[in-house]
């Protein structure tokens, strides 16, 4: 699966949230300073060529929607992060966050509970 640039990911986040949107609707949701219409339109067409979005014709315009679910892309991105920075070890990643105080024991316990629930299903 191809990686998204920061600009492409910003657009995908909007489409994942809205589920369907025109270029104008995407721009309305983006933070200031708003990018130019042509810029967003170009990024959406790139996303289409990469297979991340598709569109349906509505009147004279297009309404775009994500083809790839956010969860699928997130999973792929996390796996790439773990592979590239933690030698494929989720244990090393969790250990890293624990050492850097980015996660406390209470949060870790909740993660373990969630994992145990998932294993029970």
Residue 121 has what pLDDT?
65
Statement: residue 21 has pLDDT above 80: yes
What pTM was estimated for this model as a whole? Answer: 0.76
Same domain, 74 and 36: no
Give mean pLDDT, residues 43-63: 96
pLDDT > 70 in the chain, percent: 97
- CATH code: domain of residue 106: 1.10.4040
3-state secondary structure of 68: coil
Question: Among 45, 66, 87, which residue terminates a domain?
Answer: 66
Q: 30-37 — which CB contacts under 8 Å span 24+ positions?
A: none
Query: Is 19 part of a structural domain of the chain?
Result: yes
As for how many domains the chain has, the answer is: 2
Statement: residue 55 has pLDDT above 70: yes
Q: What are phi and psi of 94, to 5 degrees?
A: -65, -40
| Helix residue ranges, H only, the chain | 6-18, 23-29, 37-50, 70-85, 90-99, 105-120
What is the spatial distance between Cα 90 and Cα 46, in angstroms, rounded to a whole number?
32
Statement: residue 49 has pLDDT above 70: yes
Same domain, 74 and 56: no
- CATH code: domain of residue 60: 1.10.10.10
Query: Is 1 part of a structural domain of the chain?
Result: no
């Amino acid at each position: 699966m191809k990686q998204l640039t920061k600009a492409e990911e910003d657009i995908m986040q909007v489409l994942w949230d809205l589920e369907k949107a025109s270029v104008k609707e995407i721009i309305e949701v983006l933070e200031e300073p708003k990018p130019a219409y042509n810029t967003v339109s170009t990024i959406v067409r790139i996303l289409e060529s990469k297979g991340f979005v598709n569109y349906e014709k509505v009147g004279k315009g297009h309404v775009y929607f994500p083809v790839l679910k956010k969860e699928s892309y997130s999973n792929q991105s996390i796996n790439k992060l773990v592979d590239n920075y933690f030698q494929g070890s989720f244990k090393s990643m969790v250990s890293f966050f624990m050492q850097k105080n980015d996660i406390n024991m209470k949060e870790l316990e909740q993660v373990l509970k969630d994992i145990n629930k998932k294993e029970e299903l």
